[in-house]
Structure 1
Amino acid sequence: MSEASARVLVRSAGMDDLPALAALFDGYRVFYGEPSDLARASAFLRQRLERGDSHLLLAVDGQGMALGFTQLYPLFTSVGTAPIELLNDLFVAPEARGWGVGRALLRKAAEDARARGAVRLELQTTVDNAVAQALYASEGWVRADGFIVFNKGL
């Protein structure tokens, strides 16, 4: 772990953070095989911030340099009759990996979701993302065996 990890601050992101967030979000999309499109990334995040329909967290170092982000969407569990949140996106800049940024983002996401009344966080990751899976497990996340996820394009 780097000395920089001791100075990682995770905070709610706002419109002033849009340029840094968009750059990270574009990197996230590229990681998942999408072509780089900074304008699209910026427009999407601007809309989320304006509508307030997601919760964006930004990790920064001691000098305010953006290191990573996470985005959560509010949902509900019908069976549990309670609010939950989907941790849909988590990304750490390649140069900041291994500094504890992802761990700090996960912890702040859980803290904030709990404060908003959520009873559970959910996430999905690719089956081959062993690094992320190890991080989630080390933070107490449990694999939801017994469920299959279906998608339908519209």
Structure 2
Amino acid sequence: MKISVRPVEATDEGPWLALFRDYITFYEATVPEDVIALTWQRLLSRADNMMALVAADEAGRALGIAALVFHRSTWSPAWYCYLEDLFVAPAARGRGIGRALIEATYAEADRRGASRTYWATQEKNETARTLYDRLGQLTDFVQYRR
């Protein structure tokens, strides 16, 4: 299966929404509909240094999504790229789509001169972590939230 990865377009709204909602469900989370709508608008317009990628098959069916947030750092003169959301439709997993989305993220980060690309996942997300262990370096940082 040939996969292409590109920035989202307005015509991707329906497929993106479906995949994003599945992503939220996967993490057993709740995101209000107005926040989902705002997120889509930010990603589509590339506002606030945010953008989204979509991975599609030859027929143009969206099979995976990624949301990128570029931000400044107190530790570097360059930008950082936070891969905030990464999701592949369950039926499409194991076909290299996650890898393609991460590699496209790296390419966009490089294009923008980002000195770091990073992401997080739940410790129990073993399937994804198998891929992440091949494409990134696990750090010893622990995340806290308020």
Q: So what's the TM-score if we normalise by structure 2?
A: 0.90
SS in 2 for 1:44: helix
Alpha-carbon distance in structure 2 between the residues aligned to 1:67 and 1:48: 17
Structure 1 portions without partners, runs of 5+: none
CA–CA distance in structure 1, aligned partners of residues 52 and 31 of structure 2 = 20
User: Residue 105 of structure 1 aligns to which amino acid in structure 2?
Assistant: L
1:123 maps to 119
Tell me the residue number matched to 1:24. Answer: 19
Query: In the superposition, relative to structure 1, how do residues 51 and 142 fare at CA in structure 2: closer, same or farther (>3 Å)?
Result: closer
Question: CA contact under 8 A between 1:30 and 1:36: conserved in structure 2?
Answer: no
Moved over 3 A (4+): 35-43
Paired residues, number = 145
TM-score of the superposed pair, with normalisation by structure 1: 0.86
1:86 to 74, 82, 86: 82
CA contact (8 A) 1:23 1:38 kept: no
Rounded to whole Å, the distance in 2 between the matches of 1:100 and 1:8 is: 8
Task: Letter of the 1:123 partner, please give it.
Answer: W
The correspondence of residues 15-94 of structure 1 with structure 2, limited to 5 A, is 15-34=10-29, 41-50=36-45, 52-53=47-48, 54-94=50-90
Identity in percent = 33
Gaps of 5+ in 2: none
When residues 11 and 81 of structure 1 are mapped into structure 2, their CA distance, relative to the original with a 3 A threshold, is same
**Could you tell me how far apart the structure 1 residues matched to 2:139 and 2:54 are?**
27
